[in-house]
Structure 1
Amino acid sequence: MDIKNRVLEIQKLISINKFSQAILDCEKLIKKFPENSYFYNLCGLALQKSDQTNKSIKYFKKAISLEPTNFAAMNNLANSYKGLFEYKKAEDLYIEIKKKDPTNIKVLNNYANLKKEFNKYHDAINLLLDAIKVNAKDVNVLSNIAACFQSIGDMNKAKEYALKVLDLEPNNTHIHKFISDMLNYRKDKNHLNTMRELLHNSSFKNFASKEKADLYFALGKAHEDIGDFENSYYFLNKANLNMKENKNYNFFHIQKLFNNIFKLFNSLDDKILKKKQSKKRVIFICGMPRSGTTLVEQIIASHSKVSGAGELQYLEKVINENFLEDAKFNKQKIIEELSNEKNIIFERYFELLNFHNFDTDIVTDKAPQNFIWIGFIKFFFPNSKIIHCSRNPKDNCLSIFKNQFSSNTMSWSYDQTLVAKYYNLYLEMMNFWKLKYNDFIFDANYEKIVTSPESEVKKMLLFCDLNWESECLNFYQNKKTPVQTASVSQASKPIYKSSINTSSGFSKYLSEMFEILDTKS
């Protein structure tokens, strides 16, 4: 096989997630051609995509040392820094490439993604519009602009750019799903018919699993809208089956983590809590995914004294960096850090948060699965607040089953049994925290909020030491906090009750899930 074909084969391996073989083949090429910058970049890319981000950096740097104008390697290096939360290094590289190669569309797109991390959507849109000037038919850029407009609540612009993608690629299932999230199919069946035609197109069987899943999720949503629960479940089930392919979720690992947390916090003495030492504070909004965390953040972040940071990974990162390895905690190090005068956990968290340039002292962090880390919040963020969002278990788990999640940590969400088992683990965890730190936690129940919004919002604000502001009920109008999660379409609407008891239409199709949930009710 000649070099060109070997490279094509490696690129194919990367595209189908066979990273180990791709890395092995790259290493063979590097050994044979040690001065070839391209092969180092390719190997770095395979490492990056296989979540070996730290290792990828060495290869990208080597590629750049061999060829200082290898902008692809520089761009990939910036992406690796971004993935490791080394935001300054990432931004410096994007700016450097942009100066030397101002029409580099990939860099403009990736730099826009970095801006989105900090909720700087207008900056991101400007970068993407620059990219469109270079190539008005770049589907990735058009899709990204559509997503940006959706996140800031401009649904008309979002649809406008999404339709531009479909004009170029009528079979783009990702965009069909994107559009489906914004439509009510009781009023508009044209798009449903378009998706049905694509489903029956002879080429559909050759689509990748993820592409098929996108269309199945969209069809599932459309059929639910028109009250056809049988077909809705049929498509949702197919979507989840396709998402499960090539995912090997280790459920035992999360059970082990939870058990180790129970042991750790049963053995820690509350007397070693960190002292309140900063006027800066975080309102952590957590619970199961799809439990109302976005709604609650939109409400609270509409307050004049609060900024909404969205779904941050910083807390989990800081804990992993300092205390955790393979689900095991370094208890001695935790005790040492609690004894130190400086609170490095708090400081590292705010070091990352400072990239957002918020002008308020109070910030919301709505990463749902921060419920796992409530004990750490109690010990290291003593002046913070915890709002725990809950919802009817069956509605909650159905909503998870209906949605697609970008994070690999959510791989359990594509299996009925695992969704219910995870939910029961979450209940066990929350019961544990409430027994220990009940006064530290406010329960925000989704059903109560949507039926009695003003009284429930007043209770939340009081718990957060915030005065009443009517803007908190008008969050959908001010659009102060952008939304990147699966709740993005709902966040642009007033509080509504139609999400209550949504599971009733699916009860006979999700009996496997609901029976496991019933064992804990």
Structure 2
Amino acid sequence: MGNALKDQGKLDEAIAAYNKALSIKPDYAETYNNMGVTLQDQGKLEEAIAAYNKALSIKPDYAVTHRNLSGLIKYKRNDPQISSVDELLKRLDLKDADRCHLLYAFAKMNEDLGCFEAAYDNYVVGGALRKKLLAYDLRHDRALFAKIREVASSLNDFDSTPPNAKTSHTPIFILGMPRSGTTLVEQIIACHSQVQGAGELNFLGNLGNSIACGAKPLTPDSMTKLQVKYLDELAKLSNGHQFVTDKMPHNFLYIALVLKALPEAKIIHVKRNPAATCWSNFKHYFQSNGLGYSYDLSDTVQYFSLYQDLIDFWDDLYPDQIYHLDYDRLTVDQELETRQLVEHLGLDWEDACLSPHENKRSVRTASQQQVREKMYSGSSEAWRKFEPYLNGAFDEFVTQ
């Protein structure tokens, strides 16, 4: 019940269910781990750390908890968790999934200690294991991008616009590569009194992927169903607000679909320094299984090129219909970029949009900690600590 409520975003109710489970079985390590994840989503980091530590006190070899905890700690050399993970990695009976979690935890520990070569080696080996477990092959994504571009021509020529069902809710799609600043941008927009931040929604992909890829016929009926179903789902999350954000980054695949089926929608494309974006994808363990490209540096760079080419394709096809927001410029000139964004959305200015770190809404993405801190510049240079070990992987970006 706790897990189901957590997945629905009902985090207080999830915590209550976990506590009830623990009243029945006080040594249930899995419950403490799941409680830690939920508390982390709420921004209650000290409580989350305590929950993860409790799980490890019950189950010291709990690999996923070691990785979860590592994301919340700034490690120093005397931290006992470091030696615990190091010893666990020497075991020969580890399952691949557990070894993968531990490798990512150990990479983070070494990075905190300034041991960048060791950290990089662990990210590489951990990523290779994750890619193997997901059976990822970049050729599948290449084929997907090609198919989407092919179908886009038919979508562009499609005359039968959906009936534009009467709705008081306007979608704001915030999209781009993962780790490009989409969570921060949503946090800024969600500070506005007329906007509900709904997070990463899978509705568009679930409803429209088959149309965008040509697996389902493009007809007036299929487009109308897409529009009505999407807006119905959005209404359930609106909490009475006129505007609702959908921050699923990979919705950049479906821009043609959005512009045809949901013409009232706003599209915000967030872009960031390519090397920083690729590095941040590569070093992160994503809960979603749909980001297999991120676990091999070469795959990540090639996927980024596919994404960049597709964005250019959309711009040529739909000029002036996509708002491009540069994350790095946002961090340098926060007020100017924020005011221009709010104006583009057709909203009246509210000063709260300049304090996204004070927004107490639950954040359930990889950037949940960063968006609770004051905005700062320079994060896009963090990858350079690892530059000596990358064998020129980002050279094409650095020379652009």
TM-score normalised according to structure 1 size = 0.72
CA distance in 1, matches of 2:359, 2:181: 19
> Is residue 250 of structure 1 aligned with residue 134 of structure 2?
no
> Is residue 479 of structure 1 aligned with residue 360 of structure 2?
yes
> Is residue 269 of structure 1 aligned with residue 157 of structure 2?
yes
CA distance in 2, matches of 1:131, 1:357: 31
Q: How does 1:131-150 map to 2 (within 5 A)?
A: 131-150=21-40
Displacement of 1:138 in angstroms is 1.1
Picking from 125, 131, 135, the partner of 1:238 is 125
Match of 2:49 in 1: 159
Q: Which is further off, 380-389 or 496-505?
A: 496-505
Residue by residue over 1:52-97, the C-alpha shift from the partner in whole angstroms, topping out at 9 and shown as x without a partner, is: xxxxxxxxxxxxxxxxxxxxxxxxxxxxxxxxxxxxxxxxxxxxxx
Any gaps of 5 or more consecutive residues in structure 1? 1-107
Question: Residues 273 and 378 of structure 1 are in contact (CA less than 8 Å); yes or no, is this contact kept in structure 2?
Answer: no
Match of 2:4 in 1: 114
- Larger RCO (CA within 8 A; separation ≥ 6): 2
Match of 1:398 in 2: 279
Question: Residues 421 and 516 of structure 1 are in contact (CA less than 8 Å); yes or no, is this contact kept in structure 2?
Answer: no
Displacement of 1:383 in angstroms is 0.7
Structure-2 change in CA distance of 1:233 and 1:250 (3 Å): closer
> Is residue 337 of structure 1 aligned with residue 196 of structure 2?
no
Any gaps of 5 or more consecutive residues in structure 2? none
The letter for the 1-side match of 2:278 is C
Displacement of 1:292 in angstroms is 0.7
Q: Which has the larger radius of gyration?
A: 1
Question: Residues 290 and 396 of structure 1 are in contact (CA less than 8 Å); yes or no, is this contact kept in structure 2?
Answer: yes
The letter for the 2-side match of 1:248 is A
- Secondary structure of the corresponding residue to residue 218 of structure 2: helix
- Secondary structure of the corresponding residue to residue 444 of structure 1: strand
CA distance in 1, matches of 2:102, 2:202: 29
Structure-2 change in CA distance of 1:201 and 1:140 (3 Å): closer
The letter for the 2-side match of 1:309 is A
Picking from 362, 379, 383, the partner of 1:499 is 379
Match of 1:46 in 2: none
Residue by residue over 1:161-210, the C-alpha shift from the partner in whole angstroms, topping out at 9 and shown as x without a partner, is: 1111111122222222212211223xx4443x522343135863322222
Structure-2 change in CA distance of 1:182 and 1:201 (3 Å): closer
Residue by residue over 1:183-238, the C-alpha shift from the partner in whole angstroms, topping out at 9 and shown as x without a partner, is: 223xx4443x5223431358633222221222221222232233332122112112
Q: Which is further off, 116-125 or 418-427?
A: 116-125
Question: Residues 151 and 214 of structure 2 are in contact (CA less than 8 Å); yes or no, is this contact kept in structure 1?
Answer: no
Question: Residues 39 and 47 of structure 2 are in contact (CA less than 8 Å); yes or no, is this contact kept in structure 1?
Answer: yes
Displacement of 1:433 in angstroms is 0.7
Match of 1:320 in 2: 209
Q: Which is further off, 400-409 or 242-251?
A: 242-251
- Secondary structure of the corresponding residue to residue 269 of structure 2: strand
CA distance in 2, matches of 1:201, 1:279: 54
Question: Residues 293 and 366 of structure 1 are in contact (CA less than 8 Å); yes or no, is this contact kept in structure 2?
Answer: yes
Q: CA RMSD in A?
A: 2.2
Residue by residue over 1:399-443, the C-alpha shift from the partner in whole angstroms, topping out at 9 and shown as x without a partner, is: 011101122221121111111111000001000111122322111
- Secondary structure of the corresponding residue to residue 267 of structure 2: strand
Q: Percent identity?
A: 30
Q: Which is further off, 308-317 or 345-354?
A: 345-354
Match of 2:304 in 1: 423
Structure-2 change in CA distance of 1:438 and 1:275 (3 Å): farther
CA distance in 2, matches of 1:118, 1:463: 31
Higher helix share: 1
- How many pairs were matched up? 398
Displacement of 1:516 in angstroms is 6.0
The letter for the 1-side match of 2:337 is E
Picking from 95, 99, 105, the partner of 1:208 is 95
Picking from 251, 254, 257, the partner of 1:373 is 254
Match of 2:200 in 1: 311
Match of 2:172 in 1: 283
CA distance in 1, matches of 2:252, 2:203: 14
> Is residue 296 of structure 1 aligned with residue 224 of structure 2?
no
Displacement of 1:124 in angstroms is 1.4
- Secondary structure of the corresponding residue to residue 507 of structure 1: helix
Structure-2 change in CA distance of 1:144 and 1:357 (3 Å): farther
Q: How does 1:54-65 map to 2 (within 5 A)?
A: none
- Secondary structure of the corresponding residue to residue 438 of structure 1: coil
Question: Residues 420 and 517 of structure 1 are in contact (CA less than 8 Å); yes or no, is this contact kept in structure 2?
Answer: no
CA distance in 2, matches of 1:238, 1:381: 43
TM-score normalised according to structure 2 size = 0.92
The letter for the 1-side match of 2:33 is S
Displacement of 1:445 in angstroms is 1.1
Match of 1:451 in 2: 332
CA distance in 1, matches of 2:201, 2:233: 10
Structure-2 change in CA distance of 1:488 and 1:328 (3 Å): same
Structure-2 change in CA distance of 1:475 and 1:190 (3 Å): farther
- Secondary structure of the corresponding residue to residue 245 of structure 1: helix
CA distance in 2, matches of 1:441, 1:344: 24
Match of 2:343 in 1: 462
CA distance in 2, matches of 1:190, 1:362: 49
- Secondary structure of the corresponding residue to residue 204 of structure 1: coil
Displacement of 1:497 in angstroms is 2.2
